[in-house]
Amino acid sequence: MCGVFGYVTNRDEALGPILVEAAQRLTYRGYDSVGAATFRDGRIDLRKDVGKVDAVAERHGLRDMRGSRGITQLRWATFGAPSQVNAQPHLDSDGTMAGAHNGNVVNNAELRVEFAVEGMTVRSENDGESCVHAVERHLRRGAGPIDAIRLAYRDLEGDYSFVIGRADDDRLYAFKKGSGLVVGIGDGFTCVSSDLPSILPLTRDVIRLNDGEIVTLWADRVEVRSVQDGEVLERPVETVSESMDAARKGGFPHFMAKEIHEQPQVARELLHLLDASADVGPLVERMREARHLYLVGCGTSYHAALLGSVYLAQVAGRVAIPVLAPQFIAQYAPAVGPEDVGLFVSQSGETKDVLNALEAADRRGMVSFGLANVVGSALTRATQRCLPLGCGFEISVPATKTFTNQVLAFLYLAYRLGGRDTGELTGIPELMEQTIAAVDGPIRAIAQDLADRNDLYCLGYGATYPIALEGALKLKEITYAHCEGMLSTEFKHGPLSAVSDGYPIVFVAGPSDTPLIISGINEVKVRGARAITIGQEDARLRANGDDLITIPASDPQVSALLSVIPLQLLSYHMSVLRGFDPDFPRNLSKTLTVD
């Protein structure tokens, strides 16, 4: 995830402070490099570097930049390592046009070769530069700016948005396809940004662009056109009345709800990231050769590791040992060595238990890799290779979008290790969208019924066992009710005695385990329990349980991933109904930097 912002006025202004403040508001989207370009008297002043906004602003005097138009970009490296040359914005071949993007151009490598063959100056490996050259290509061939963007859109594959401007002009152009873009209209200026909250301090009059829309921004007006036929579109200006806090929550009442709904988009971005990553190949090869392979994490990240071990065995035939980080130290560290590989999983990359385990592994010479969301965190720095989760900030204490992206990353690695085509995974984000749409209503009704219950079980089997554990953790964490996650077949070995009339038991049914789940359902139903099943549409599940929350049809691995969504929503709605703030549960903190 990156962030891009453009600003247009009609006089020479001190744009530096405006661009730096916008960049600070977009920091959550990217924080490995920052850049700004201003357009002044037919010339472009471009300053950019690796580092956080304040450091780069200080080093390169970004606050002193002047002009009548400006672009700033926050980069979170996907194509090309974090470096000054890969930082954005980028110039065209002769330095008379500058632009920056957010998103992923998936045919970047092929395009860079084509541009070079056509005689353009390609300076970086970054796909933002490909957006600039794609427009330059068609300007060189004689197209006007709007047509050049329309034709560039046909060349650039992926989900992205970009902002671009020419030195000898009085306007900026922006285009949206897949990644967010909002236009702001102020008094004597217009602006465009990756998100609404970064615009609100400047103006409350906005146009939220749709995919396939090109906007031209002058100081006193904007014009929106369709990328398909270039026709002008009527896009009324909307005056935003919501507070800054509400805008940061994207119109949702809580960050948790927003982050649950962001899951399809961040999953899409993660697949692009992994396709482009130079680390995946070597990491997979080392995993293949390992004597023993350990997947290490805590809490939700451990549940992702647990599901990762199921995927690696089911898809790639590779045994991996999932382990809670402190137990890794106590149980396995004395036995590991340089032939072994550990994959350390953490949203924050700062969890002390995980870093302790990593230290213990390092002392034994074990090869260590990471899977982390926060770029620049201790885990990303301390492991030999670290794959990103690409979720942007997760503000809500309960992990949601980072869990699904951890799981997706494991599934991707299992596909690579098993020699399967990762292209088969591209349908997952859409299935996630369908799941959210299908389950939210029915889950709200169940949350209403269960709101007063203080004891629940959540049972799964095979790939849905880690999901049952994760669902139970989420329920405990934000409803403060007791919920135990278990392997469904273990229930009869003890907990069954707790069942009495109306006792709620959630079954997470994988499509290949239906008969086993039906046995479990009947076992508890005859003792008076209420059996709520999450699974694919199946007449047998419907006939045997009390409620069936249906998720879209897919294979067992993907089905497990989808089935966590209703559990996240159940926890969320129950928490709100019980009068709690799901974003900030009592006694907990987002990052646990203590032993």
- Helix 299-316 to helix 465-479 angle (10° resolution) is 170
- Scored b (16 or more CB within 10 A) or e, 458-493 reads bbbbbbbbbbbbbbbbbbbbbbebebbbbbbbebee
Site for ligand M6R in 202-241 (CB under 6 A): none
Applying CB under 6 A, the span of 196-204, 393-401, 501-509, 520-528 interacting with ligand M6R comes to 393-401
The first and second tokens of residue 314, run together, are 């089911």
Q: Compute the chain's Rg from CA coordinates.
A: 25
Q: Does 354 contact ligand M6R by CB under 6 A?
A: yes
Pick between residue 7 and residue 76 the one whose CB is nearest to ligand M6R.
76
Residue nearest to ligand M6R (CB): 299
For the question of residue 2 being annotated catalytic, the response is: yes
Interacting residue with ligand M6R among 22, 247, 298, 469 (CB under 6 A): 298
Catalytic residue among 52, 352, 525, 590: 590
Residue ranges in 542-561 that form contacts with ligand M6R under rule CB under 6 A:
none
Closest CB to ligand M6R among residues 106, 475: 475
Q: Are 381 and 394 in contact, with CB atoms under 8 Å apart?
A: no
Tokens of 218: 């002058």
**Among residues 82, 264, 398, 566, the one that binds ligand M6R under rule CB under 6 A:** 398
Shortest distance (Å) from residue 455 CB to ligand M6R? 20
* Per-residue binding letters, 319-348, with ligand M6R (x by CB under 6 A): ---------------------------xxx
Nearest to 5 by CA among 235, 236, 189: 189
Does position 488 bind ligand M6R by CB under 6 A?
no
Distance CA 477, CA 235 (A): 43
Output the six-digit token pair for 231: 């026709």
Residue 63 CB neighbours (<10 A): 16
311, 359 contact by CB (below 8 A): no
Strand (E) or helix (H) holding 309: helix 299-316
Contact pick of 301, 405, 464, 575 for ligand M6R (by CB under 6 A):
301
Structure tokens at 167: 């030195």
Tally of CB atoms within 10 A around 497 = 8
When asked if residue 299 is in the footprint of ligand M6R (CB under 6 A), the reply is: yes
Q: For the CB of residue 348, give the shortest distance to ligand M6R in the complex, in Å.
A: 3
Q: Which stretch binds ligand M6R (CB under 6 A): 119-127, 278-286, 391-399, 421-429?
A: 391-399
Looking only at the bridges linking them, the beta strands covering 205-208 and 189-193 are unpaired
Helix (H, G, I), strand (E, B) or coil at 482: strand
Q: Does 397 interact with ligand M6R (rule: CB under 6 A)?
A: yes
d(CA 465, CA 489): 10
- The residues with which 162 forms a beta bridge, in sequence order, are 101, 175
Out of 37, 105, 399, 517, the only residue in the binding site for ligand M6R (CB under 6 A) is 399
Q: Judged by CB, which is closer to ligand M6R: 72, or 263?
A: 263
Nearest CB to ligand M6R, comparing residues 37 and 256: 256
CB of 254 to ligand M6R, least distance (A): 14
Instruction: Assess whether 476 carries a catalytic annotation.
Output: no
Six token digits for residue 594: 């203590």
Strands 321-324 and 293-297: parallel
Residue from 477, 513, 538, 583 that binds ligand M6R (CB under 6 A)? 477
Q: Which residues are catalytic?
A: 2, 590
Query: Which residues make up the interface to ligand M6R (CB under 6 A)?
Result: 298-301, 346-348, 351, 354, 397-399, 473, 477, 591-592
